Amino acid sequence: MPAVVDVQHLRKAYGGVLAVDDLSLEVEEGEIFGLLGPNGAGKTTTVECMEGLRHPDEGQIRVLGLDPSREPRELRRRIGCQLQQAALPDRIRVWEALDLFAALAPQAAPWRVVLERWGLEGRGRAAFSSLSGGEQQRLFVALALINQPQVVFLDELTQGLDPAARRVAWDLVRSVRDRGATVILVTHFMEEAQQLCDRVAVVHRGRVAAVDSPQGLISRYGGGVRVVFSTPAHQDADWLRRVPHVSGVARHGPRVEVSGDGPLLAHLGAALIAHGMEPADLRLEQPTLEDVFLRITQAPGGVPPER
């Protein structure tokens, strides 16, 4: 089956600034696909090229088999967009906005239903400018989903949402996917990527530096697991290097950090007991997506070697 979103060698510059530089990625049907990356990495530019809001300088894009630059109308009937930067007229009322966007999509749910689904009931007559940041964001997400799109682009979906609304948004994204849609999600929240995404691309300086499932990224780039405990400072810890699966030992005063991989904790625990040591604070520190993100985006020469 061809990819629902297929980007090959995308390049886009603004004046002299190269925002996207030879970026390629493929998103399969029914995936929730995350785009992570530092500010200015080119995520929004990439997504806007997919939405047909910007025209690539080079490269090829297909979304649902359509070229966004050449067939924007047909495409936009079938996709939903929540833009990182967008606004509605200050004095438009919430219901008027929903009503207009619903009129643009024959298959749209009635605006009263949408209002309720997004916890905006009672705000229908409120002017857009009087909404709180989170309420505006909910409205934009509602607008992105109003035409029951086959592909949804969410650029920083949960910025400004409170934790409860964030959970609501996540549930909605999952239900959109369960309905069969494909979701492209730009985010800076590692937890969101980890909870929601089937695969994540880390975008760095306009390229895809790595792409895999969150777990896959962690095991490839996370830098292994660490076990941490304390011992009295005089006690020797160098013998730990000979324990299976240990790759390094570091000491900071009473704190010992043992790095390694796989079943490190079990081996280390057994070895410590065999040595008559029973540290009460022995614990495993697993690398997170954040570690992956930092390792990739702060690596001096670009992408760090896989572990």
Partner 1 sequence: MRPPLFAKLTWLEAKLFLREPLAVGFTIAYPLVVMFVIAGVFNRPGEEIRGVGGAEYYVVSNIAVVIAAMGLIALPPHAASYFERGVMRRLRASSVPATAVLLAQSAVCFGVAIAATVVLLGAARPAYPYPVPQSVPGVVLGFVVGLISFLALGLLIAALFPTTRSAQSVGLVLFFPLYLISGAAPPLSVLPSAMRLAADFDPLKYAVRALQDPWFGYGITVTNLVVLAAIGVVSGLGAALVFRRR
Binding site for ligand ATP (CB under 6 A): 14, 17, 19, 37, 39-45, 84
Residue 92 interacts with, from Mg ion, partner 1, ligand ATP, none (CB under 5-8 Å by kind): partner 1
159 near Mg ion (CB under 5 A): no
Residues in contact with partner 1 by the rule CB under 8 A:
51, 53, 72-73, 76-77, 81, 83, 85-89, 91-92, 96, 99-101, 103-105, 140, 143, 147
84 near Mg ion (CB under 5 A): yes
Sign of the dihedral defined by the CA atoms of residues 48, 50, 53, 59, in that order = positive
In terms of CB distance, is 80 or 304 closer to partner 1? 80
Name the nearest CA neighbour of 195 among 293, 289, 117. Answer: 289
Q: What is the DSSP letter of 242?
A: G
Residue 96 interacts with, from Mg ion, partner 1, ligand ATP, none (CB under 5-8 Å by kind): partner 1
Distance of CA 148 to the CA centre of its chain: 22
The minimum distance between CB 272 and Mg ion, in angstroms, equals 47
Alpha helices by DSSP H, listed for the chain, are 43-50, 72-78, 94-104, 111-117, 133-145, 163-178, 190-196, 214-221, 264-274, 289-298
Q: In whole angstroms, what is the distance from residue 103 CA to residue 218 CA?
A: 44
212 forms beta bridges with: 200
61 forms beta bridges with: 7
Give the contact letters, 41-80, x = binds to Mg ion (CB under 5 A), - = no: --xx------------------------------------
Give the contact letters, 177-216, x = binds to Mg ion (CB under 5 A), - = no: ----------------------------------------
In the complex, the residues that contact Mg ion under the rule CB under 5 A are 43-44, 84
